[in-house]
Structure 1
Amino acid sequence: MNRLSQQTSPYLLQHAHNPVDWYPWGEEALQKAKDENKPILVSIGYSACHWCHVMERECFEKEAIAEVMNAHFVCIKVDREERPDVDAVYMDAVQAMGVRGGWPLNVFLLPDSKPFYGVTYLPPQNWVQLLKSIRDAFANHYDELANSAEGFVQNMVTSDSEKYGLTENASSYPIEDLDVMLSSLQRNFDHFKGGMDRAPKFPMPSIYKFLLRYFDISQNPEALRHIELSLNRIALGGIYDHVGGGWARYSVDDEWFIPHFEKMLYDNAQLLSIYAEAYSITQNPLYADRIKKTINWLQTEMHNADGGFYSALDADSEGIEGKFYIWTEEELITILGDDFAWFSRLYNISKSGNWEHGYNHLHLTETAEQTAKSKGIFDESFSEKYEAALNKLAEKRAEKIRPGLDDKTLASWNGLLIRGLTDCYRALGDENVRDLAVATGQFLLSKMTLNNQLSHSYKNGSATITGFLEDYAAVIQGYLGLYQITFDENWIRHAEQLADYTVANFYDESEGFFHFTDASGETLIARKKEIFDNVIPASNSMMAENLYFLSLMLDREDFGEITDKMLSKITRLLTQDVQWVTNWAALYCLKAVPTVEIAIVGADAENIRKDFDRFFIPNKVVIGTKTFSTLPLLQNRTDIQGKTAIYVCYDKTCQLPVTEVAAALDQLSGL
């Protein structure tokens, strides 16, 4: 066993038995490279990464290859989920080299940690040849490597504002620009299968979030059409686990048919939010079903004993990608018996397989009921038979060898899940979901917070690694959601304390954005900022939205000023190519039309809040109390002759208080 055996990261522990003399990222390895004047190999991946496993089997488990690596390099393994700061620095460098980023990410550094070359997956013969080439270049052409590395470092330390031409503009948000953003996005829509017009297909929650907010403002049916098309296909296709609930990370094809089978907490957390919001608009029972089954999967398979949620399930089991989720025809005949005939027609099951190597994967393009009707297999008992068949498969699947579990708990992804659960509670009104959201918040408070400072990772009873901006942004977002479903002011105060800490320790006032790392954290060769939205929104765009809502709810003008400065610097990108900044675009929607402030005061505040939550009103803040509160929007506000009062304010103008939700909604529609 190598040094990784002492680590807690499941990804690092996967490599603990490699003959490679792996080090974890840290001073010991970095100093060794300097002392011995050796190049450093930093190999970055994560536990659920299929191609990381393949490269380990083909390269890192081989004695002959390990011998070359150990002789000529200081080899460092990094879990990108545990150390996103290290990953961001060297991913940036590799992309500057013209290499398409991905994992496994293998970067070669000089002994001073400056990168000079990088690749992703390589088969063994290519990997060995590269190792020998790097060894020879380091010995014979060091000056050239040093010059190259210096150029990549200079690129990394160049400010994002300079690199992308981000200049501060007047803080105005013309509503017409939203149409420009939609038109830009539409050029890349897949108008037949949903999502974006490319393969592989990733669910992109921030795109759907923007479209939902754009639709709320414009009522443009094209926006809703694309949302429904995308969400329907994501809910019905093979990317969704029809047997157990939950979504895989992405589809390798453009049909949403065969997923890359790993299940990540962050995808499922965000998709819960999107499906909850879409359900509030459409009342589509498919969306409610997927929400309920995904929450059940999370509780059953991803919930730790302390109250947080694990990070991921692997794509592989028994050395085969997706084996846990796929079936042979023979297996299905044995499990389903008399039900196999109609079930096989429903899902196009065959002896040769609907996928590869004789395996079948469950996939639909219309609901099970619609598909059954079109294939002539529908009867009055179909829904009952269908659920019973899926339950039989679930029971049999439980006997299989399970995919590996990444059992570390990340503050950032749990923050995203809290927000997802609060959105689901608002849409469905299930008190168990609210309890789960609150319990997850309590876990973050008790296990991952000390003196208003977050830790990034938790495992085996210990919180480790100084929190990153993504942790603060996601947890604040979750706490704001918790306040608005409980009216427990502790949550908004905790959110404010974390926001104050973030501004003090992450904010770069000169550039107007937040660093990814805490000022008290480890110093790397570059201190990065995360600006562009991806599958997970940029931590800066999440933070800007948090500060906007806090500025309204707490009358914090300083927070609002930071939001305006950040968003104003992004406006050029929004109108040029919005697909990379769609969470910023969702924030723009909040600024283009003034946000509604709904204050509820009185003994029935909880029930009135629930009544409001049934409606999709994304551009609002909701605050409330049964008695009295010192929150600015609740000061000097009381019930009305013993009846709970609803105060609706918009653009610094308040309507007369009313006591019925219908009357408040009339005020909103009039505004």
Structure 2
Amino acid sequence: MINSIKTPNRLVNEKSPYLLQHAYNPVDWWPWCEEAFAEARQENKPIFLSIGYSTCHWCHVMGRESFEDQGVAGILNRSFVSVKVDREERPDVDAVYMAICQALTGQGGWPLTLLLDTKKRPFYAATYLPKNSRYGMTGLTELLLKVSELWKTSRNRLLESGEQIVEAMREQDRTGYVQEPEKNLLYEAFSAFAHSYDSRFGGFGEAPKFPAAHNLLFLLRYAKEENPAASEMVLHTLDGMYRGGLFDHIGGGFSRYSSDEKWLVPHFEKTLYDNALLVMAYLDAYTQTKEPLYRHIVRKTLDYASRELTAPEGGFYCGQDADSDGEEGKYYLFIRQEILDILGENRGRRFCEWFGITEQGNFEGKNILNLVENANYREINPTMEHCCEKLLCYRARRTFLHKDDKCLTSWNALMITAYVKAYLILEENQYLDTAQKAERFLEEKLSRDDKLFVRWREGVSAGYGKLEDYAFVVWAELMLYQAIFDIRYLKKAVRFADTMCDRFFDDTEGGFYLYARDDERLILRPKETYDGAMPSGNSIAAYVLGKLFKITGEEKWRERSQKQLRYLAGSSGRYPAGHGFAMQAFMDALNPSQELIALSPEQEDLRKLRKLVAAKPNLTVVVKSPENGQELAELSPYTKEYPVTAGHPQFYLCSGNSCAASVDTLQALKW
């Protein structure tokens, strides 16, 4: 709660929920702006840069310990120019300095803490720092005092260090090479995942465990097209994430990561992008297995997104905090007697047995609901679901979780794609309605003249769109086109893809830069290819460029797609498993594809076409009718050659470089 007696700093005029959380700190914060750096040059002070986001638990901890402390604030205000950045509003700033932190320390995360010279070059990087040194960890107070003294006595050493760091990063960016994508990259990625796979609890590597759903999407497709053995890893992981506390069994939705190997103890923070990607993974698993549990998980997760993360205007919020009343996870935890009081003795006992709730608890004396020890976890029990609904109403009366209520273009586009995919696979119209409403929100609030903004909040759009914004929006528009074959979505996909290529693409070597050529120039202009918490913009760009070529047949999309694939193949060759979504783009290019041209299809044909799109990842469908023929020909010139007559459906199936003779019904197609 903000104390109105305190004096606000410059952040009070910002829109970012994260910056506003620090608007009443005694630290004399600046937002990221040229005026802050001019102040540093004029005062001849180093820059203290702090990057985080509003639902970040350790950002809150560092804020309480240090940035609300008068002593720490005094040091910062005397000796530094302090700059606060919301990583979600400025993904370019975050990416540049996170890469440097990872290069210097071997790790990354938030809060991200850096010390810069007046040219914005870092000479120190870390993540969370306690106020005072403890357990071998440098304290922020000691660090600031030491650097303040060094700035006076040995400034040249700090400046040389910053210059060397930046030059080393630039040299690393210059050492890229290209190669043709080959299937051995797919195998190497699969092998790396197989090597790190936890066969007992699912997931990859040791705790903490992250869902990394884009890697699961790759493995599911690899299982279908290359090696069925990959399927077991994914399905066991999906089951493990659901059984543990990572999944909110009462309200739906997934937390960001698990602190333990069993997926039992979550971090409790929920983000839009994780839930969007996990919906896609469970949908693909449902498509392959027809397991009802996966459909149930998808529905419950999308119910959560619709209930908690959807703005009245139709867009999606960023996520929910882990903390309430200053305690991580408090909102989600129950003691056994509480359950018995709410549900009644008999039903309450059954519920506690089902979800592993005990007197002693499994987390700090309280209980995280879970199915880790429940052998019947696949059963969707109506009684237990009714109890969960009752507990959801009860839980809603607790101290509310902070919600980051800004709408980010890239994350919104990702969730639109998830809703469209749910519509295609589950055939439930409300998911399409939600996707279309959110797409209209993007068009009205987050785009102008074929250019995108980064975020919208409280009626204000801001920030020049980055690569991930354009790539994810093109993907969402293409998904909508493949779902209902409305040419409006194809036209928008083409327009935004053109803008993306014009402003971000390196025509010489391939690859897309993180930010546009006419955007603010930072100390580095990288081409990010590694997948992080989300697939990289370069991987999504490669994927959608290939789709655009298959739909339109336009040579420019083929050329850009091939150049991008060669660039990604060169970049991913060092560690294919770090480029999970790029592997899907490679499979599109390397495995046989099919294009289906449907002329004047009936309504029932359209429903069947949607089912085909959902089931066949390498199938592209183009629908031509008397009404859209002229517009379609402008986007896909080859469709001019296909005669169309109302009421007389015709279907042409093309594979490789040849097309079969037309047939009158979809059933007559030879796959």
In the superposition, the TM-score normalised over structure 1's length comes to 0.93
Q: Provide the residue aligned with 2:207 in structure 1.
A: 199
Kindly report which structure 2 residues correspond to 1:594-605, keeping only aligned pairs within 5 A, or say none: 594-604=592-602
Match of residue 158 from structure 2: 145
Letter in 2 for 1:231: L
Q: Is the CA contact 1:188–1:197 (under 8 Å) kept in the aligned structure 2?
A: yes
Deviation at 1:179, TM superposition (A): 3.3
Residues 501 and 638 of structure 1, relative CA distance in 2, 3 Å threshold: same
Alignment-derived partner of residue 431 in structure 1: 429
The answer to whether the aligner puts 1:12 opposite 2:19 as a matched pair is: yes
Say if 2:270 and 2:319, in contact at 8 Å, map to a contact too. yes
Equivalence for 2:271: 264
Give, in whole Å, the separation in 1 of the partners of 2:551 and 2:68.
55
1:470 to 456, 468, 471: 468
1:489-523 deviation digits (Å, cap 9, x = unpaired): 11111111111111111112233111111122112
Which has the higher relative contact order, 1 or 2, with Cα contacts under 8 A spaced 6 or more apart? 1
The match for 2:619 is 620
**Counterpart in the other structure of 1:589:** 587
Contact 1:595 1:651 in 2 (8 A): yes
* Cα distance in 2 between the residues matched to 1:18 and 1:174: 53
Structure 2 residue corresponding to 1:187, chosen from 173, 187, 195: 195
Q: Which moved more, 1:92-101 or 1:267-276?
A: 92-101
Aligned: 1:334 with 2:341: yes
Identity of aligned pairs, percent? Answer: 37
Q: What is the match of residue 60 of structure 1?
A: 67
Q: Is the 8 A contact 1:265 1:312 kept in 2?
A: yes
CA contact (8 A) 1:346 1:368 kept: no
Alignment-derived partner of residue 379 in structure 1? none
Q: Contact conserved, 2:309 with 2:318, CA < 8 A, in 1?
A: yes
2:3 aligns to what?
none
Residue 310 of structure 1 aligns with which residue? 317
CA offsets 1:319-354 (integer angstroms, 9 cap, x no match): 000111111122112112121111111122112212
Give the alignment partner of residue 149 of structure 2, picking from 136, 154, 159: 136
1:199-598 residue pairs with structure 2 within 5 A? 199-218=207-226, 220-337=227-344, 338-356=346-364, 358-365=365-372, 369-370=376-377, 383-571=381-569, 574=572, 577-598=575-596
For residues 553-579 of structure 1, give each alpha carbon's deviation from its aligned partner in whole angstroms, at most 9, with x where no partner exists.
Answer: 112222222222222233356555321
Q: Deviation of residue 175 (structure 1)?
A: 4.1
What amino acid sits opposite 1:552 in the alignment? K
Q: The residue matched to 2:623 in structure 1 has which SS?
A: strand
C-alpha separation between the residues in 2 aligned to 1:638 and 1:153?
59
What is the rounded CA distance, in whole Å, between the counterparts of 2:402 and 2:566 in structure 1?
44
Say whether the 8 Å CA contact 1:86–1:524 is kept in structure 2.
yes
Is the 8 Å Cα contact of residues 605 and 644 (structure 1) preserved in structure 2? no
Distance 1:334 1:94, change over 3 A: same
TM-superposed deviation, 1:612: 4.5
CA distance in 2 between counterparts of 1:494 and 1:178 reads 32
Q: What is the match of residue 135 of structure 2? A: none
Between the aligned partners of 1:606 and 1:387, the Cα distance in structure 2 is 35
Report the Cα distance in structure 1 between the residues aligned to 2:651 and 2:184, rounded to whole angstroms.
32
Contact 2:48 2:114 in 1 (8 A): yes
Letter in 1 for 2:236: L
Matched, 1:127 2:140: yes
- Distance (whole Å) between structure 1 residues aligned to residue 561 and residue 172 of structure 2: 19
After superposition, the Cα gap between the structure-2 partners of 1:203 and 1:368, relative to the gap in structure 1 and judged at 3 Å, is same
Alignment CA distance shift 1:390-1:23 (3 Å)? same
Number of the residue aligned with 2:47: 40
| 8 A contact 2:467–2:515 mirrored in 1 | yes
Q: Does the CA contact (< 8 Å) of 1:262 and 1:313 recur in 2?
A: yes
Q: How far is 1:216 from its partner?
A: 2.4
Would the aligned equivalents of 2:203 and 2:237 in 1 still touch at CA under 8 Å?
Answer: yes
Is 1:161–1:511's contact at 8 Å kept on the other side of the alignment? no
Contact map agreement 2:453 2:464 (CA 8 A) in 1: yes
**1:183–1:97 Cα change, 3 Å:** closer
Alpha-carbon contact 1:605-1:625 (below 8 Å) kept: no
Which residue among 620, 643, 651 is the counterpart of 1:646? 651
Match of 1:113 among 95, 113, 120: 120
Match of 1:659 among 655, 661, 664: 664
In the alignment, residue 560 of structure 1 is paired with which amino acid?
R
Separation (CA, whole Å) in 2 of partners of 1:606 and 1:367: 42
Q: Secondary structure at the match of 2:617?
A: coil
C-alpha contact (below 8 Å) 2:111/2:128 kept by paired residues: yes
Deviation at 1:657, TM superposition (A): 2.1
1:365: how far off? 3.5
Code of the residue aligned with 1:646 in structure 2: it is F
CA distance in 1, matches of 2:305, 2:105: 38
CA distance in 2, matches of 1:476, 1:554: 14
How far, CA to CA, are the matches of 2:427 and 2:276 in structure 1?
Answer: 18
2:178 to 168, 179, 188: 168
Structure 2 counterpart of 1:75, from 60, 73, 82 = 82
2-structure distance, mates of 1:650, 1:603: 20
Equivalent position of 1:24 in the other structure: 31
Look up the equivalent residue of 1:550 and give its one-letter code. Answer: L
Counterpart in 2 of 1:636?
641
Distance 2:310 2:434 in 1: 10
Q: What is the Cα deviation at residue 221 of structure 1? A: 2.5
SS in 2 for 1:256: coil
The answer to which of 573-582 and 323-332 deviates more is: 573-582
TM superposition shift of 1:107: 0.4
Match of 1:375 in 2: none
Structure 1 residue 50 and structure 2 residue 57: aligned?
yes
Counterpart Cα distance in 1 of 2:189 and 2:31: 44
CA displacement, residues 73-129 of structure 1 (integer Å, 9 cap, x when unaligned): 111110001101111111122222225211111100112211111111111111101
Moved more, 647-656 or 145-154: 647-656
Structure 1 residues 607 and 292, CA, compared in 2 at 3 Å: closer, same or farther? Answer: farther
8 Å CA contact 2:244, 2:370 repeated in 1: yes
Residues 641 and 139 of structure 1, relative CA distance in 2, 3 Å threshold: closer
Q: d(CA) in 2 for partners of 1:271 and 1:663?
A: 36
Provide closer, same or farther for how the CA distance between residues 183 and 640 of structure 1 changes in structure 2, counting only shifts above 3 A: farther
Alpha-carbon contact 2:264-2:372 (below 8 Å) kept: no
Q: CA deviation at 1:369?
A: 4.0
How many angstroms apart in 2 are the aligned matches of 1:610 and 1:256? Answer: 38
**Cα deviation, residue 534, structure 1:** 2.0
Q: Which amino acid aligns with 2:157?
A: E
What SS does the corresponding residue of 2:49 show, helix, strand or coil? strand
**Counterpart secondary structure, 1:197:** coil
How many Å apart are 1:58 and its aligned residue? 0.7
CA distance in 2, matches of 1:433, 1:633: 32
1:530 deviates by 1.1
Kept in 2: contact 1:599–1:624 (CA 8 A):
yes
Closer, same or farther in 2 for the Cα pair 1:174/1:396, shift >3 Å? Answer: same
Structure 1 residues 190-244: Cα deviation after superposition (integer angstroms, max 9, x where no partner)? 12222212211111122112112212212x3211111211112222321111111
Q: Which stretch has the larger CA shift, 647-656 or 73-82?
A: 647-656
Matching residue within 167, 174, 195 for 1:154: 167
